[in-house]
Structure 1
Amino acid sequence: MTTVIAFILMFGLLVFVHEFGHYYVAKRTGMLVREFAIGFGPKVFSTVKNETLYTIRLLPMGGYVRVAGEDPEIIDIKPGQHIGLTFNDDGEVNQIIVNNKAKHPDAFVIEVEHIDLDHALTIQGYEINEEEKYSFRVNKKATFIMDEKATQIAPYDRQFASKTVGQRGLQLFAGPLMNFVLTVVIFVILANIQGVPVEDVRIGSVVDNSPAQEAGFQPDDTVIEIEGQSISKWEDFQEIVEASPNEPLEMIVLRDNQQVPLEVTPATVETPEEDIGQVGVTLALEKSFVRTIPYSLEETYRWSTLILTNLGKLVTGQFSIDMLSGPVGIYDATDQVVKTGFMNFLTWTAVLSVNLGIINLLPLPALDGGRLLFVGLEAVRGKPIDPQKEGVVHFVGFALLMLLMIVVTWNDIQRLFL
């Protein structure tokens, strides 16, 4: 049960932060946000506030912010169609009833001759079986009523396409950006609780029954030399140890201002790429408010670089699709991380957040990066791509992503249960 709660909270946080970035910029630039959704599929919870429908949906596979104009509008009224109208105190149309007009006996029913809900916000038509022509002004926040379901109209100035290239690009980029911000914030929290790594090679802890313990390493030892080579950075220490599995290494550590010679043989650890050496020590941590922000930014950059490197290996074939994980695999990994403690769970959340930000910036159809690519092409060409063609590209891309998700999820299930 602990893992279930942790997974739901982590997933909800990652998706909420990402979608909030899209939502916030959309609202600030005057776009009509129709829906803010966490998850996909059937609605579990929904509420409407300030023009926006907020929903939690059944399938924990992402989320979305639906902005007016990104997709074809839900209701398209044609000349000759019969509609019912109701009015506000200023005589403006505030409801357009498309079906079930009998349930609205006070509505004024007309046959539409011309309707413009994008720019002029007018409706022209004739009362049924009458020759007199009417022209009505439509309120900017009027709603369609279809099958007793209300949908607010979206004048062009509230639609995604009406905004500048910069505003649209920022709205698309804001989601991944918020994931990077979340990662930095989590590392700041961790740094304030645990401390930041020291700048020399000082040992923080020694694993029981490890090669380091057998060699006589102790906490607070500072490694200053390996095989006659001076050492001042933890990265250099790691590089030498990892490159020397099952090979004795002569080291000198500084202990109570005394140089102590030690010999340690790194244990061999198998990785997908190659065998590496490990001795079983961790780097010491220290509380340093000044270094908290730089450390958090460095960790975010380090994990971003690692994820991009692995993505590159996936493209070049060094990693196979079988190594990818979907929701099932992430849940299993979360279960293992939760057992190791809250701090590791926070680190895991930070890593998944930066991973989500990077994945969404990939220039693939249906992802934020793919849509940013179309906005960039518009900026270069000086005119937008045909919306229908762009829509087809994103639809096909989304279908392929869903297919990939199914394959990855099946692989996760096989690893767990078969």
Structure 2
Amino acid sequence: METVIAFIIIFGSLVTFHELGHFLFAKRAGIMVREFAVGFGPKILGIRKNETLYTIRLLPLGGYVRMAGEDFDTVQLQPGYRVGLIIGETGEVEKIYLNRNVANPDVLFLETEASDLEKDMFIKGYDDEGQLVRFNVSRKAVIYEKGQETLIAPYDRQFESKSVGQRAMAIFAGPLFNFILAFFIFLAIGLLQGVPTYEPIISEVGSNGPAQEAGMEKGDLVTGVNGTPIETWQEFALVIQENPGVPLQFEVERSGTRQILEVTPKTVTEKGETFGQIGVTYTSPVEKNPLKAVAFGAEQTITWIKRIFELLGMLVTGQFTIDALSGPVGIYKATEDVAKFGIYSLMNWAAILSINLGIMNLLPLPALDGGRLLFFLFEAIRGKPIDKQKEGMVHFVGIVLLMVLMLVVTWNDIQRFFFSS
């Protein structure tokens, strides 16, 4: 149960922050946001505030920000269509009923002749007395149809009315916020747990290993190897790994005194690779310093961005196959394993997942943020947008292919974790 809660909190937070990026930059550009959803599928909870409906949906596997003008969500009143109107004190239409039977004595029924609910904002038609009348429509008018309320979106509040730069930023902001979230998680780890100093201090010395035989003790600070200064544990470990069976002169500080210890790393072969080991373990000392915590947050974020891009490069070049990829089941299982090591490990895992989510969304594939950004680039180069029907078809095909990929990856996860011997 704890794993389920941790998974929902982590994944829900990543999705919420991702969609928050889209939401904030859409609002900044003046785009009407109809819905801010966390999850997919049936609605569990919905709260409307101003012009946006905030919802939590059943499947915690994603989310979306629905902007006005996307997915052909605008209402078109065809000539001859009978509508009911509520006229406000200013003489403008404030409510439009598309249902033919409305039990409200204040409703004025009209047989539409012409209308424009996006730019000129008017409705013209014949009333019940056969007279042709024309009304201006309020920019905040609401359309009612089959129990659903839809706020009118004037063209200047729609996604497509904005410049290429504004639209691109509203889309790019989602992945950007995932990177920002990762930075703040790493920053929190640095502030709460401390920043690793990576000093080469021996944490434990194993029994009957080369280090113990040479007289190395817990707490020894390694300052050099064969006359070369050593400043970090990574440098120390690399020297050992690269010199199996080679005698090494270690310079160590112990209780304020300098000592020289000769250690010969034993040769170890695993998965076809040979390296050296001396039988010590390491836990990096930490330092609580706000400025270093900020640097640590930035450094870890950049490091993991590079690592994930390296893994993507390996996938493209065939160094590992699709079988190595993990979907929701794999992420859940990994979350279960990471949770055993405590809250800071979970936080670190959440930051890595956030970066991964940001990068995956930036891939130039249809239906992903990166795919949409690619279309904006084409539009900027051509000087005019791609035909919306053609773009919509490309994204539809992309969604289908992504769903197939998700099913394949999920099936691989199920076989790996539940049916493997």
Relative to structure 1, the CA distance from residue 78 to residue 208 in structure 2 (aligned partners, 3 Å threshold; closer, same or farther) is: farther
> Could you tell me how far apart the structure 2 residues matched to 1:270 and 1:221 are?
28
Q: Name the structure 2 match of 1:206.
A: 204
> Could you tell me how far apart the structure 2 residues matched to 1:32 and 1:275 are?
60
Q: Name the structure 2 match of 1:187.
A: 186
Question: Is 1:223 equivalent to 2:222 in the alignment?
Answer: yes
> Could you tell me how far apart the structure 2 residues matched to 1:109 and 1:375 are?
43
Kept after mapping to 2: 8 A contact 1:188/1:296 = yes
Instruction: Write out per-residue CA displacement over residues 10-54 of structure 1, whole angstroms, 9 at most, x where no aligned residue.
Output: 111111111111111111221110110111111111111111111
Kept after mapping to 1: 8 A contact 2:361/2:368 = yes
Kept after mapping to 2: 8 A contact 1:100/1:148 = no
> Could you tell me how far apart the structure 1 residues matched to 2:281 and 2:34 are?
53
Relative to structure 1, the CA distance from residue 91 to residue 118 in structure 2 (aligned partners, 3 Å threshold; closer, same or farther) is: same
| Superposition map of 1:274-313 within 5 A | 280-313=281-314
Relative to structure 1, the CA distance from residue 122 to residue 411 in structure 2 (aligned partners, 3 Å threshold; closer, same or farther) is: same
262-271 or 34-43, larger mean C-alpha shift: 262-271
CA shift, 1:119, in A, is 0.4
Cα RMSD for the two superposed structures: 2.4
> Could you tell me how far apart the structure 1 residues matched to 2:324 and 2:56 are?
30
TM-score by length of 2: 0.91
> Could you tell me how far apart the structure 2 residues matched to 1:275 and 1:322 are?
26
Kept after mapping to 2: 8 A contact 1:32/1:154 = yes
Kept after mapping to 2: 8 A contact 1:206/1:281 = yes
SS state of the match for residue 302, structure 2?
A: helix
Relative to structure 1, the CA distance from residue 111 to residue 100 in structure 2 (aligned partners, 3 Å threshold; closer, same or farther) is: closer
| Superposition map of 1:138-149 within 5 A | 138-149=137-148
CA shift, 1:379, in A, is 1.7
| Superposition map of 1:141-180 within 5 A | 141-180=140-179
Instruction: Write out per-residue CA displacement over residues 87-117 of structure 1, whole angstroms, 9 at most, x where no aligned residue.
Output: 2221211111112433445321211111111
Question: Is 1:414 equivalent to 2:415 in the alignment?
Answer: yes
> Could you tell me how far apart the structure 2 residues matched to 1:207 and 1:19 are?
48
> Could you tell me how far apart the structure 1 residues matched to 2:145 and 2:96 are?
8
SS state of the match for residue 203, structure 2?
A: strand
Which amino acid is 2:201 matched to? I
CA shift, 1:254, in A, is 2.9
Q: Name the structure 1 match of 2:339.
A: 338
> Could you tell me how far apart the structure 2 residues matched to 1:210 and 1:342 are?
34
Relative to structure 1, the CA distance from residue 269 to residue 59 in structure 2 (aligned partners, 3 Å threshold; closer, same or farther) is: farther
CA shift, 1:268, in A, is 4.8
Relative to structure 1, the CA distance from residue 319 to residue 112 in structure 2 (aligned partners, 3 Å threshold; closer, same or farther) is: same
Kept after mapping to 2: 8 A contact 1:227/1:249 = no
| Superposition map of 1:234-249 within 5 A | 234-243=233-242, 247=245
> Could you tell me how far apart the structure 2 residues matched to 1:42 and 1:35 are?
14
Number of residues paired by the alignment? 414
SS state of the match for residue 408, structure 2?
A: helix
Kept after mapping to 1: 8 A contact 2:119/2:154 = yes
Relative to structure 1, the CA distance from residue 282 to residue 276 in structure 2 (aligned partners, 3 Å threshold; closer, same or farther) is: farther
Which amino acid is 2:190 matched to? A
Q: State percent identity of aligned pairs.
A: 50
CA shift, 1:207, in A, is 7.3
SS state of the match for residue 101, structure 1?
A: coil
| Superposition map of 1:357-372 within 5 A | 357-372=358-373
> Could you tell me how far apart the structure 2 residues matched to 1:217 and 1:334 are?
37
Q: Name the structure 2 match of 1:81.
A: 81
| Superposition map of 1:3-402 within 5 A | 3-73=3-73, 75-128=75-128, 130-198=129-197, 201-203=199-201, 205-206=203-204, 214=212, 217-226=216-225, 229-243=228-242, 247=245, 250-252=248-250, 253-255=252-254, 256-263=256-263, 265=265, 268=268, 280-402=281-403
5+ residue gaps, structure 1, are: none
Kept after mapping to 2: 8 A contact 1:126/1:132 = yes
Which amino acid is 1:221 matched to? D
Which amino acid is 2:197 matched to? V
> Could you tell me how far apart the structure 2 residues matched to 1:284 and 1:268 are?
27
Kept after mapping to 2: 8 A contact 1:210/1:280 = no
SS state of the match for residue 39, structure 1?
A: strand
CA shift, 1:262, in A, is 4.7
> Could you tell me how far apart the structure 2 residues matched to 1:266 and 1:72 are?
68
> Could you tell me how far apart the structure 2 residues matched to 1:83 and 1:222 are?
83
Which amino acid is 2:93 matched to? V
Relative to structure 1, the CA distance from residue 188 to residue 92 in structure 2 (aligned partners, 3 Å threshold; closer, same or farther) is: same
> Could you tell me how far apart the structure 1 residues matched to 2:123 and 2:2 are?
57
Kept after mapping to 1: 8 A contact 2:202/2:281 = no
SS state of the match for residue 283, structure 2?
A: strand
Kept after mapping to 2: 8 A contact 1:361/1:369 = yes
Relative to structure 1, the CA distance from residue 46 to residue 277 in structure 2 (aligned partners, 3 Å threshold; closer, same or farther) is: farther
Which amino acid is 1:416 matched to? F
Which amino acid is 1:412 matched to? D
5+ residue gaps, structure 2, are: none
SS state of the match for residue 203, structure 1?
A: coil
Kept after mapping to 2: 8 A contact 1:203/1:218 = no
TM-score by length of 1: 0.91
Relative to structure 1, the CA distance from residue 183 to residue 224 in structure 2 (aligned partners, 3 Å threshold; closer, same or farther) is: same
SS state of the match for residue 71, structure 2?
A: coil
Relative to structure 1, the CA distance from residue 171 to residue 228 in structure 2 (aligned partners, 3 Å threshold; closer, same or farther) is: same
Which amino acid is 1:177 matched to? L
CA shift, 1:267, in A, is 7.7
